[in-house]
Amino acid sequence: MESIRELFRVGKGPSSSHTMGPALAAKIFKEKNPDAISYRVTLYGSLAATGKGHLTEEALREILPEEKTTIIKKEKFLRPHPNAMLFEAEKKKGKKIKWLVFSTGGGSIKDLKNIYKMRKVYPHKSFKEIFEYCLKNGITLYEYVFRFEDKNIKRYLLNIWNTMEDAIKRGLKAEGVLPGPLKLERRASSMYIRSCNSRGIMERIGRVFSYALAVAEENANGGIVVTAPTCGSSGVLPSVLKYLKESYKLREEKIINALAISGLFGNLIKHNASISGAEVGCQGEIGTACSMAAAAATYLLGGSAKQMEYAAEMGLEHHLGLTCDPVAGMVQVPCIERNAMAAERALDCAVYALQTDGTHKITFDEVVRIMKQTGQDMKVQYRETARAGLATVFKMKR
Ligand code: SF4
């Protein structure tokens, strides 16, 4: 598995696989072909179907010279991943360079020729292997992460946490309507105020919701967020961390450890299944975010590695089969609310796991495998094409 830096990326919303991945690919292609007379980018599959609402063209045009670039769309699905892009550069004397590259989720890209390679830093591929290694060496899960990452990883994670907190602060201050045809009103600010004026369950759950909404609304507005594991699901983990940090007055060091643990679980899902809504539906995005946040919360609440695994397993298990059907192709409905629901569910999973000794029937590794299989069995309309589910209801109402 590669570094958790590849999972936690800082960038502009609203969709990591539609903006950050294509922007990274465009940057690499331009650097390799600076002398091109013209560029052509063909977007395939989900990038063609929902690229407009997800701002793919804008992301590409920020990198490639406007006057030299043509972007075309083909709603054909290529293998091995539905988010395909063909970059072409025309050079002097009619010479053409082509590069087929895939945006695989969370801002990551992959090509069949391995022009862009990610360095592998972890020798283990499953939670079982990692857990056994930790037991044998007498280390915790976050110590495992720090052992294999480079020496700057804690500083990197601190910056990730600061970026998450900034997104919460900006989102809680902002009001008004989000961009796009839905005219969706931001709710984080009013929900936060209401939670401050409430007690008990209204205060607690309202606070968690407002933090998740704050980040998800910032993302929908094209603001700076952290992929955790994607932009569309970027509100879940920050909300849970912020809520627990405030409630238990936790030191920043604990939050860094929690980020390392959540990154480890997210990485296992990314490596063994997928975090791309276009590939496996929303279970891969929101389900993964919930799983990561559940593991982090269990750690922050004093749980063992077995309990963390149980909570992470539940976070994913109870999102199995969740489809990706963004209304009008925007990362707004159901995405924003879904972040709030998953944040609360992550805390529920942690509390549930902490009420047990951590033993359970379905392992984390097994549920990851099943999530991938479920995604492969899902009809393509339910994988980020905005052609089924809730996306259809909105079209009928217009
Ligand atoms: S429905 Fe889920 S997977 Fe699809 S765009 Fe929204 S958050 Fe991402």
Query: pLDDT digit string (tens) for 222-277?
Result: 999 999 999 999 999 999 999 999 999 999 999 999 999 999 999 999 999 999 99
Q: Which residue has the tokens 């397993």?
A: 313
Which residues, listed in sequence order, are joined to residue 291 by a DSSP beta bridge? none
Please give the average per-residue pLDDT across 289-304, as a whole number: 98
Instruction: Characterize the bridge pairing of strands 38-44 and 84-90.
Output: antiparallel
Q: What is the pLDDT of residue 396?
A: 52
Residues with CB under 6 A from ligand 1: 232-233, 277, 282, 285-286, 324, 326, 331, 334-335, 338, 384
Q: Which of 37, 253, 60 is nearest to 146 (CA)?
A: 253
Q: How many CB atoms lie within 10 A of CB 254?
A: 17
Q: What is the pLDDT of residue 125?
A: 97
How far apart are alpha carbons 338 and 385 in whole angstroms? 18
Reported confidence tier of residue 118, pLDDT bands at 50, 70, 90: confident
Mean pLDDT of the chain: 94
How far apart are alpha carbons 282 and 338 in whole angstroms? 10
How far apart are alpha carbons 282 and 303 in whole angstroms? 28
Say how many Å lie between the CA of residue 384 and the centre of ligand 1. Answer: 7
This prediction has a pTM of 0.93
**CATH, range 4-111:** 3.30.1330.90
Reported confidence tier of residue 128, pLDDT bands at 50, 70, 90: very high
Reported confidence tier of residue 391, pLDDT bands at 50, 70, 90: confident
Reported confidence tier of residue 179, pLDDT bands at 50, 70, 90: very high
Q: Which residue has the tokens 């793919």?
A: 56
Q: Which of 294, 321, 322, 287 is nearest to 310 (CA)?
A: 294
Residue 113 has pLDDT above 80, yes or no: no
CATH 3.30.1330.90 residue spans of the chain = 4-111
Closest residue (by CA) to atom 1 of ligand 1? Answer: 324
Please give the average per-residue pLDDT across 127-146, as a whole number: 98
Determine the residue of 19, 103, 324 to mutate for testing ligand 1's pocket, defined as the one with the most ligand atoms within 8 A of the Cβ atom.
Answer: 324
Q: How far is CA 392 from CA 47, 94, 329, in A?
A: 19, 45, 11
Q: Is the four-CA dihedral 347, 350, 355, 359 of positive or negative sign?
A: positive
Reported confidence tier of residue 397, pLDDT bands at 50, 70, 90: low
Please give the average per-residue pLDDT across 313-342, as a whole number: 96
For 91-105, 150-164, 207-221, which range has the lowest pLDDT when averaged over its residues? 91-105
pLDDT tens by residue, 1-57: 999 999 999 998 898 999 999 999 999 999 999 999 999 999 998 898 876 677 899
Instruction: Characterize the bridge pairing of strands 10-12 and 38-44.
Output: unpaired
For 161-170, 201-210, 379-388, which range has the lowest pLDDT when averaged over its residues? 379-388
Q: Strand locations in the chain, DSSP E?
A: 10-12, 38-44, 69-74, 84-90, 96-105, 108-111, 224-226
Closest atom of ligand 1 to 233 CA is 7
The answer to whether 48 touches 75, Cβ cutoff 8 Å, is yes
Say how many Å lie between the CA of residue 304 and the centre of ligand 1. Answer: 31
Q: Going edge to edge, which strands form the sheet with 108-111? A: 69-74, 38-44, 84-90, 96-105, 108-111
The answer to whether 86 touches 96, Cβ cutoff 8 Å, is no
